[in-house]
Structure 1
Amino acid sequence: MRFLLDDEQRQFARSLDAMLSAAGTPAAVRAWAAGDTGPGRAVWKRLAGAGVFALAVPEEHGGLGPLPVELAVAFVELGRHAVPGPLVETVAAAAFLDRLGDPAAAAARLPGLASGAAVASFCVLSPTAPYALDADTSDRVLVVDGDTVRLAEATGPVQPSADPARRLARPGGGPVLARGPRVTAAAAHAADVAALLTAAQALGVGRTLLDRTVAYVRARTQFGVPVGSFQAVQHRLADTLVALEFARPLVFAAALALAAGDPGSGREAAMAKVAAGEAAYAASRTALHLHGALGYTAELDLSLWIRKARALRTAWGTPAACRARVLDP
């Protein structure tokens, strides 16, 4: 089965690519990692103006959606440009509030998320995931603990991460917004949306790693010929491309399943997450190896994508957890 984007979706991807190429995202990533969110917030504002966050919010609350396929298209581009910030978590928060069944909470918070005026962090606490992403810089932090959701604040120091631009902090206490089975159901849906968009983001990260590595091995020479002419290098790059190309239809199949309200959409999202996450991680290893010693330097912009691929591999579902869900009857 082939999943082809229509002309409007392809144009949307091209417009985001052009906008982010001109935005200088590597500098914004480095500033975000150092605690200066100003450049990243400027990129965020431009994304909001392009309607990216509105895609996650229903029309009655100032949005355009929810439109999972278009969101997946956008997040591939966000991954390609390594845009910093709680992008997935903001959309997950919108998905949670939309499904919570609390009209007052939705009316109070969804318009701000749709317009990009509010940056949100969202987390479902577990023993293996006790942190909220960018909680220290977010305007709202929604924390789900069992069947309870509360509005929290970050406490304690920012924790180190494989990706320095992913700033992790433990969420503290805060007022309870809702309790009961509806919280659990809404959180499960939001986690599926987060897994899908993390997969899309990882797919974009993997494509940039591959593209930059191909460009490098074409330019780098050894024994008087381009490194890319060596068969071992070509095989490594071909394996990376195949993995990314196999992950792509899984990402969009999961987006279509979510858009249709398919009961199996959670398994589809898990399948996409493990395939795209592993493909991006493999792309990061390929990029690191084929760049040689240069690949280990933090000054090289490539490192921003290498480190992000490692972090996205386990965000919103480890490979083992995703495989277990896929195999669960």
Structure 2
Amino acid sequence: MELAWGEDFAALADVSKSVFTRYSPLEDRSNNVPFADQIAQFAELGWLQLGDPTGADADSPSLGTIAGVFVEMGRALAGTPLLDLTTARDAALLIGTEKAAAIAERIGGGEAVVIPAFPSADWGSVVSYENGVLRGTALAVGYADRADSFLVHATGTESVVAVVNSAAARIEAMPNMGECPMFAVTFDDVPVADDAVLARGADADRAALVAEQRADVLRAAQVYGAGLRLLDITVLYAQQRHQFGGAIGRFQAVQYLCTDIAIAAHLTSAHARSAAGAIDAGIDPQPYLGLMRRQAAKAALQIVHSAHEVHAGIGYMVESNVHLFTGAAKRWQYDFGSAARNDAEIVSALDRIYTGA
């Protein structure tokens, strides 16, 4: 498989770079673009309707192309709901019913803020659906306080994907070192009408799974972009910081640390391109995704560790941008899941491939 981003990746990335500069805390810590303005700009740019996860639209940009936006989003460390909205829209399109398609259209037009509440075992959360009632908590849900409604994937006596008004859920902030907008969304015996259930059984599971797989690729693209920006910051510091009669960048130990950042970032890019290519080609992406998640989680840790080694104590100062990457990296580590889970998925996927199961 050719390890390449999509055909229009570079063009989309160029536009995204100028947009996300406006949102970047690396440029201005006081940047606080109103949420409604973010949604409006993304809708105007067409970014809320990028890609067709069903593959029905041959003219739709590939996942490898869409990644260009998210590389630049990661490079700027821009905090936006773009990935959450993209994931919810993907899941709705994959369900394919008339009602789900209408929800996807409203998300794409910036008319509705529908946030996915897909519980993750790595976060220790679960939502069950039994006898038309939702129970449980989805953890680390981004921008839940801004949601009009949630797209909930629940399991139990039956798997469902349902759209639930945000007023029916209990939303609690989850304070974190990265100051990410994370929330616990709890459903305390919330009744769900039949017409709010968009998919059931295998159809529900598949829609949530594929939407999450695509989201993981775009999240890995963010890690890649963050690694590139952190490499630039660290190399510049190594050139400007003088000690023992010259720039610290002349020492091999410092050069090795900068190289570690570059290697971690580019390996993440390679795995993300591989996973995106598999998804776009309709190949079973699970082994590629497992390897990508494992590498991206490792890279998120490695890039900040190496950067802090070069910057030493100043990297922890509020005035330094390095510590901003530390908080984002910790969130990414959790999102990609444990190494044990990813290893198990890789082994399972390879077993299916080689046994033809």
Partner of 2:106: 112
Partner of 1:75: 70
CA, structure 1 residues 119+63, in 2 after alignment: closer, same or farther (shift >3 Å)? Answer: farther
Residue by residue, what CA displacement relative to the aligned partner does 1:3-30 show, whole Å, maximum 9, x if unpaired? Answer: 3447732122112112322x14218996
Give the C-alpha shift of residue 40 in structure 1: 4.8
CA, structure 1 residues 116+216, in 2 after alignment: closer, same or farther (shift >3 Å)? Answer: farther
What is the one-letter code of the residue matched to 1:192? Q
Partner of 2:135: none
CA, structure 1 residues 214+53, in 2 after alignment: closer, same or farther (shift >3 Å)? Answer: same
**Distance across 1 between alignment mates of 2:54 and 2:277:** 19
Give the C-alpha shift of residue 274 in structure 1: 1.8
**Distance across 2 between alignment mates of 1:185 and 1:239:** 37
**Distance across 1 between alignment mates of 2:180 and 2:51:** 23
> What secondary structure, in the 3-state scheme, does the structure 1 residue paired with 2:105 have?
helix
CA contact (8 A) 1:288 1:306 kept: no
CA contact (8 A) 1:227 1:233 kept: yes
CA contact (8 A) 1:40 1:84 kept: no
Partner of 1:313: 333
**Distance across 1 between alignment mates of 2:114 and 2:298:** 27
What is the one-letter code of the residue matched to 1:159? M
Say yes or no: does 1:133 pair with 2:172.
no
Q: Which residue among 162, 171, 176 is the counterpart of 1:150? A: 162
CA RMSD of superposed structures (Å): 2.9
CA, structure 1 residues 120+79, in 2 after alignment: closer, same or farther (shift >3 Å)? Answer: farther
Q: Which residue among 251, 268, 273 is the counterpart of 1:247? A: 268
Give the C-alpha shift of residue 66 in structure 1: 6.0
What is the one-letter code of the residue matched to 1:151? V
CA contact (8 A) 1:82 1:305 kept: yes
CA, structure 1 residues 64+83, in 2 after alignment: closer, same or farther (shift >3 Å)? Answer: farther
Residue by residue, what CA displacement relative to the aligned partner does 1:127-182 show, whole Å, maximum 9, x if unpaired? Answer: 52431222111233111111122334351420123421232222433634233221
What is the one-letter code of the residue matched to 1:268? Y
CA, structure 1 residues 213+28, in 2 after alignment: closer, same or farther (shift >3 Å)? Answer: closer
> What secondary structure, in the 3-state scheme, does the structure 2 residue paired with 1:247 have?
helix
What is the one-letter code of the residue matched to 1:12? L
CA contact (8 A) 2:9 2:66 kept: no
Q: Which moved more, 1:305-314 or 1:272-281?
A: 272-281
Residue by residue, what CA displacement relative to the aligned partner does 1:33-72 show, whole Å, maximum 9, x if unpaired? Answer: xxx7x53543443333333222135799999736311122
TM-score by length of 1: 0.87
What is the one-letter code of the residue matched to 1:276? A
TM-score by length of 2: 0.80
Higher strand share: 2
Give the C-alpha shift of residue 238 in structure 1: 0.9
Give the C-alpha shift of residue 88 in structure 1: 2.2
CA, structure 1 residues 305+314, in 2 after alignment: closer, same or farther (shift >3 Å)? Answer: same
What is the one-letter code of the residue matched to 1:166? P
> What secondary structure, in the 3-state scheme, does the structure 2 residue paired with 1:84 have?
coil
Q: How many residue pairs get matched? A: 322
Partner of 2:176: 161
**Distance across 2 between alignment mates of 1:256 and 1:26:** 32
Say yes or no: does 1:237 pair with 2:252.
no
**Distance across 2 between alignment mates of 1:181 and 1:24:** 39
- Structure 1 alignment gaps of length 5 or more: none
**Distance across 1 between alignment mates of 2:5 and 2:55:** 27
> What secondary structure, in the 3-state scheme, does the structure 2 residue paired with 1:160 have?
coil
Partner of 2:132: none
**Distance across 2 between alignment mates of 1:312 and 1:14:** 24
Say yes or no: does 1:297 pair with 2:317.
yes
Residue by residue, what CA displacement relative to the aligned partner does 1:165-208 show, whole Å, maximum 9, x if unpaired? Answer: 23222243363423322111111111211221111111112221
Correspondence list, 1:1-329, <5 A: 3-5=3-5, 8-21=8-21, 23-26=22-25, 38-57=33-52, 65=60, 67-106=62-101, 108-127=102-121, 128-129=124-125, 130-131=138-139, 132-146=141-155, 147-152=159-164, 153=166, 154-172=169-187, 173=190, 175=192, 176-178=196-198, 179-262=200-283, 264-328=284-348, 329=351
**Distance across 2 between alignment mates of 1:114 and 1:63:** 18
Give the C-alpha shift of residue 31 in structure 1: 6.9
CA contact (8 A) 2:6 2:63 kept: no
The higher radius of gyration belongs to 2
CA, structure 1 residues 294+116, in 2 after alignment: closer, same or farther (shift >3 Å)? Answer: farther
